[in-house]
Amino acid sequence: MTSSFQYEIRCWACAEDQAAEERAEFVTGQSGDTDERKIRLAIATCNNCFAPLALYQEVIWDDFAEEEVVRSTRADVIWPFPDQRGQDRSRAIPHELRREHQEAQLCFNANAYTATVVMVRRALEGVCADHNIRAKNLVSALEEMERQGLIEGRLLEWAQELRVLGNEAAHYTGRPVARQDAQDALDLAEALMDYLYVFTGRFNEFKKRREEARQDASGGGASAPG
49-73 residue pLDDT tens: 998 999 988 887 777 766 777 788 8
Pairing mode of beta strands 76-79, 52-62: antiparallel
Rounded to two decimals, the pTM is 0.56
To 10 degrees, what angle do helices 179-193 and 113-130 make? 20
| Model pLDDT, residue 84 | 46
To the question of domain 85-215 being in CATH 3.30.70, the answer is no
- Spell out where 118-219 has E strands: none
- For the chain, how are helix, strand and coil distributed in percent, rounded to 5? 45, 20, 30
3-state DSSP assignment of residue 64: coil
| Model pLDDT, residue 81 | 62
* Tens-place pLDDT, residues 72-120: 888 888 887 654 444 445 678 888 898 898 889 888 877 889 999 999 9
In degrees, rounded to 5, the angle at the alpha carbon of residue 201 between the alpha carbons of residues 156 and 90 is 85
Q: Identify the helix (H) or strand (E) that includes residue 115.
A: helix 113-130
CA distance 134 to 142: 10
| Residue 46 DSSP one-character state | E
Question: Which residue, 193, 182, 187, 186, is CA-closest to 145?
Answer: 193
| Model pLDDT, residue 206 | 86
| Model pLDDT, residue 71 | 82
CA distance 129 to 122: 11
Region label for 21, one of left (φ > 0), alpha (ψ between -120 and 50) or beta (otherwise): beta
Greater confidence (174 vs 225) lies with: 174
Residue type, position 176, single letter: P
Distance of CA 25 to the CA centre of its chain: 30
Question: Where do the domains of the chain lie?
Answer: 6-79, 85-215
CA distance 27 to 38: 7
